[in-house]
Amino acid sequence: MAFPADLVAIVLAYLIGSLSFAVIVSRAMGLADPTSYGSGNPGATNVLRTGNKKAALLTLLGDVGKGLLAVALARAASPEWGVTGTGVAAVAVAVFLGHLYPVFFGFRGGKGVATAAGVLWVFDWRVGLGLTLIWLTVFAVTRVSSLSALTAAVAAPAVAFWLWGRAPAFWAVLAITALLVWRHRSNMARLLTGKESAFKAQRSR
């Protein structure tokens, strides 16, 4: 039956998402806990504040990669194991939730920008590319990571609907967008009051 296959895929996706690469990479490279400095967010942008570009790159690749991997595996399991289209969409949300609330790290996760990007790239490279370019453009102009993420996130459902209509993947993107915006609520408050700081990296040590 399809439902058990979907359920197994969703649980596995959540566990994959729960691998917090900011913490894993930082521990492996002898860096400080990423929740203890900067924004306190265990993500690539915050790790880059240490000045260690290698650690930040590995974190970014890990967080993007787990989104790609979870959805790609669910899609690959569709023909043989019966994972449905709705199940694949649910897997996308599950891996994202794993990043936000990782079971392996006390449910203290990141804000999900890189993992969302991975999900979008595997859903449709056009969506992934378009939203990545939006993020890069806004960040290049403002140097404010949260504003870049929120701009790309708000654009995501419109782009997804334009390309896919009301397919299950669209609803997954809508749910991910809502969760991402929710996780950035403190950033939005600071943006509205002009108190959100621009990104600054420390010198490499």
- Structure confidence at residue 80 (pLDDT): 78
Question: Which candidate, 26, 8, 11, places its Cα nearest to that of 63?
Answer: 26
Segment among 21-35, 51-65, 68-82 with least mean pLDDT: 68-82
Is there a contact between 186 and 34 (Cβ–Cβ < 8 Å)?
no
Is a pLDDT exceeding 70 seen at residue 83? yes
Higher-confidence position of 49 and 70: 70
Question: Which candidate, 101, 122, 121, places its Cα nearest to that of 110?
Answer: 101
Percent share of the chain, pLDDT over 90: 67
- Structure confidence at residue 203 (pLDDT): 45
What are 13-50's pLDDT values in tens digits? 999 999 999 999 999 999 999 988 887 889 888 898 88
Q: At 1, is the pLDDT very low, low, confident or very high (cuts 50, 70, 90)?
A: very low
Please report, as a single letter, which amino acid is at residue 23: V
Longest dimension (CA), the chain: 55
Is a pLDDT exceeding 50 seen at residue 205? no
- Structure confidence at residue 200 (pLDDT): 58
How much is the average pLDDT of 81-97?
93
- Structure confidence at residue 51 (pLDDT): 86
What are 130-184's pLDDT values in tens digits? 899 999 999 899 888 888 889 999 999 999 999 999 999 999 999 999 999 999 8
Please report, as a single letter, which amino acid is at residue 58: L
Q: Which two tokens stand for residue 83?
A: 């994972």
Give the C-alpha separation, 17 to 180, whole Å: 15
- Structure confidence at residue 204 (pLDDT): 40
Is a pLDDT exceeding 70 seen at residue 202? no
Q: What is the pTM of this model?
A: 0.90
Is a pLDDT exceeding 70 seen at residue 201? no
At residue 171, the 3 state secondary structure works out as helix
